[in-house]
């Protein structure tokens, strides 16, 4: 009887530690997604073409910048494992490497974001929507490098268990985003709404939404940078480590993670492009539903980040049994939350959609998609946390392979066939997404169970 009793105690202790770490991280991720929700709600008043342009543009932006974030997150396992082994100086050295990689990756991605939009009309996106995509991405260009620098700083702070600056940064960014959106999207009209006289601010529309997001990210970066600067300097020489060796380690782990994120987000972005080919209304409905589904996903991202830290710490302590407990706790937490989210999508889809748009036709398009989103909530949460657990264990390849097979071998082909030849429209696209996510979730969960059944080498 002692074995099961001790196991239950260990799991309860692990659950408390993960909950303490996950709650502020959830607030941080949800706050970041809240900025996208505010963007959608404010741009939604400009009409379906602008809303569809922001949806397609945001999908492209996320696909590329989250690839960069995945590259930077190659530092997750080395940082958490170093801290688990009591090596604070090495952890700070890994942070320096992550910041350097943020610059090296961020600058080429900025250039790529600038040159993609003119080609959208050649893949069937309506000219009006493609024009709005170009204007929106122009405003997001200054956002790329600061976003990656923030990701590196966040990874270090959460591995240290220092989460308050992340929450503060999120609050500051959201306040900046609300005011920035109002002034830059609508110009003087926003001032008139609150009884103030105009001062000559032009209404920039979707360009203003992109610029507001960039300013918000820069403000959040300043907060976390200040927090790291205030921490005591760890003992030892921060320059003593072989930076090239550290950079190779982070890139060895980060490149597969970056490609995994690119594969996953790219699949969603590709369905956004497919929706754009179906017309402005389909693209707008897709964007509303995707924004709401992404909001629930961010909760599991917080759980995933906490799981990655806890698994990494246990691996650093050479304790695979506890690493498995940490992964199990994260998976159960994600499944519990996503079950509640699924119920909300099934019972009040119209109410949720009307939070983001006042267009009856867009709401009518989004509601069937939210019903399908209810089906894949559990798979989406499971694959997110399982990927985080594998990241903490230093397994960079399994999430990439699972996403390539699940999304591009199964999900995207189903989405295309259901959406176009079978004529199911946006709903067909989302059934394809659901199939892909389910395959990924099963594959990653099985993989985590396999690798934690044997000793795990440190990254």
400-410 pLDDT per residue, tens = 999 999 999 99
Number of helices and strands in the chain (H, E): 17, 0
Spatial separation of the C-alpha atoms in residues 61 and 245, rounded to whole Å:
31
Res. 2 pLDDT band, cuts 50 70 90: very low
Distances (CA, A) of 430 to 161, 288, 426: 37, 13, 6
DSSP run (H or E) holding 367: helix 360-393
Task: Identify the pLDDT of residue 258.
Answer: 87
Answer whether residue 43 shows pLDDT above 50. yes
Average of pLDDT values for 67-85?
89
Q: Which of 96-105, 192-201, 395-404 has the lowest mean pLDDT?
A: 192-201
Task: Identify the pLDDT of residue 389.
Answer: 94
Q: Per-residue pLDDT tens for 269-314?
A: 788 888 888 988 898 899 889 888 988 998 998 899 899 999 998 9
Q: Rounded to 10 degrees, what is the CA torsion of 398, 402, 405, 407?
A: -140
Q: Per-residue pLDDT tens for 131-147?
A: 888 999 999 999 999 99
Task: Identify the pLDDT of residue 11.
Answer: 65
Spatial separation of the C-alpha atoms in residues 212 and 242, rounded to whole Å:
39
For the chain, give the mean pLDDT: 88
Answer whether residue 33 shows pLDDT above 80. no
Exposed/middle/buried for 172, CB within 10 Å: 0-12, 13-18, 19+? middle
CA angle 359, 364, 366 (to 5 degrees): 95
Q: Which residue has the higher pLDDT, 235 or 144?
A: 144
Q: Which residue has the higher pLDDT, 239 or 417?
A: 417
Res. 10 pLDDT band, cuts 50 70 90: low
pLDDT > 90: what percent of the chain? 48
Domain extent listing, the chain: 2-451
Average of pLDDT values for 163-170?
92
Task: Identify the pLDDT of residue 241.
Answer: 60
Task: Identify the pLDDT of residue 23.
Answer: 84
Q: Are 21 and 310 in contact (CB under 8 A)?
A: yes
Q: Which residue has the higher pLDDT, 187 or 2?
A: 187
Distances (CA, A) of 402 to 326, 437, 441: 21, 10, 8
Give backbone dihedrals phi and psi of 200, rounded to 5 degrees, phi first. Answer: 90, 20
First to last CA, the chain: 36
Res. 86 pLDDT band, cuts 50 70 90: confident
Answer whether residue 339 shows pLDDT above 90. yes
Spatial separation of the C-alpha atoms in residues 438 and 440, rounded to whole Å:
5
Tokens, residue 282: 């389909």
Q: Which residue has the higher pLDDT, 32 or 10?
A: 32
Task: Identify the pLDDT of residue 58.
Answer: 81
Task: Tell me which residue has tokens 């071998």.
Answer: 409
Q: Which of 122-131, 138-147, 441-450 has the lowest mean pLDDT?
A: 122-131
Average of pLDDT values for 214-230?
95
Average of pLDDT values for 24-31?
80
Q: Which of 118-132, 216-230, 432-446 has the lowest mean pLDDT?
A: 118-132
pLDDT > 70: what percent of the chain? 95
Q: DSSP state, 74?
A: G
Contacts of 117 (CB under 8 A, 6+ apart): 57, 60, 130, 133, 134, 137
Average of pLDDT values for 10-16?
76
Spatial separation of the C-alpha atoms in residues 144 and 150, rounded to whole Å:
10
Exposed/middle/buried for 200, CB within 10 Å: 0-12, 13-18, 19+? exposed
In terms of Cα–Cα distance, which of 457, 331, 347, 453 is closest to 395? 457
Task: Identify the pLDDT of residue 237.
Answer: 65
Q: Are 267 and 433 in contact (CB under 8 A)?
A: yes
């Amino acid at each position: 009887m002692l074995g099961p009793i001790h196991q239950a105690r260990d799991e309860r202790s692990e659950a408390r530690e993960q909950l303490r770490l996950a709650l502020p991280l959830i607030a941080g991720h949800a706050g970041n997604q809240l900025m996208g929700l505010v963007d959608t709600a404010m741009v939604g008043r400009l009409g379906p073409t602008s809303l569809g342009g922001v949806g397609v543009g945001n999908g492209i932006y996320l696909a590329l910048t989250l690839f960069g974030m995945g590259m930077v997150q190659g530092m997750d396992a080395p940082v958490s494992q170093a801290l688990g082994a009591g090596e604070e100086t090495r952890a700070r050295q890994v942070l320096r490497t992550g910041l350097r990689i943020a610059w090296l990756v961020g600058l080429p991605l900025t250039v790529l974001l600038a040159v993609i939009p003119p080609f959208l009309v050649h893949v069937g996106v309506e000219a009006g929507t493609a024009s709005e995509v170009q204007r929106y991405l122009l405003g997001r260009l200054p956002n790329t490098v600061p976003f990656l620098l923030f990701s590196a700083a966040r990874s270090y702070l959460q591995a240290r268990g220092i989460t308050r600056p992340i929450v503060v940064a999120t609050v500051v960014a959201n306040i900046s985003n609300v005011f920035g959106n109002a002034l830059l999207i609508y110009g003087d009209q926003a001032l008139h709404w609150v009884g103030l006289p105009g001062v000559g601010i032009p209404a920039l529309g979707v360009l203003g939404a992109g610029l507001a997001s960039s300013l918000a990210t820069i403000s959040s970066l300043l907060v976390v940078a200040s927090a790291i600067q205030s921490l005591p300097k760890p003992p030892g020489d921060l320059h003593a480590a072989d930076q090239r060796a550290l950079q190779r380690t982070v890139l060895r782990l980060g490149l597969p993670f970056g490609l995994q994120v690119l594969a996953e987000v790219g699949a969603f972005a590709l369905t956004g492009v497919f929706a754009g080919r179906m017309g402005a209304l389909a693209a707008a409905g897709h964007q509303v539903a995707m924004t709401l589904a992404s909001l629930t996903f961010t909760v599991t991202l917080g759980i995933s980040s906490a799981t990655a830290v806890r698994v990494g710490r246990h691996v650093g302590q050479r304790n695979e049994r506890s690493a498995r407990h940490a992964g199990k706790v994260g998976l159960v937490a994600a499944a519990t939350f996503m079950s509640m989210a699924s119920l909300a999508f099934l019972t009040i889809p119209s109410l949720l959609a009307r939070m983001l748009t006042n267009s009856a036709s867009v709401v009518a398009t989004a509601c069937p998609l939210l019903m399908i989103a209810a089906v894949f909530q559990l798979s989406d949460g499971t694959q997110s946390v399982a990927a985080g657990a594998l990241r903490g264990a230093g397994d960079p390849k399994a999430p990439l392979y699972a996403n390539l097979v699940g999304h591009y071998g199964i999900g995207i082909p189903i989405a295309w066939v259901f959406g176009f030849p079978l004529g199911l429209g946006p709903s067909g696209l989302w059934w394809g997404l659901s199939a892909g996510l389910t395959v990924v979730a099963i594959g990653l969960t099985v993989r985590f169970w396999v690798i934690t059944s044997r000793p795990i080498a440190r990254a």
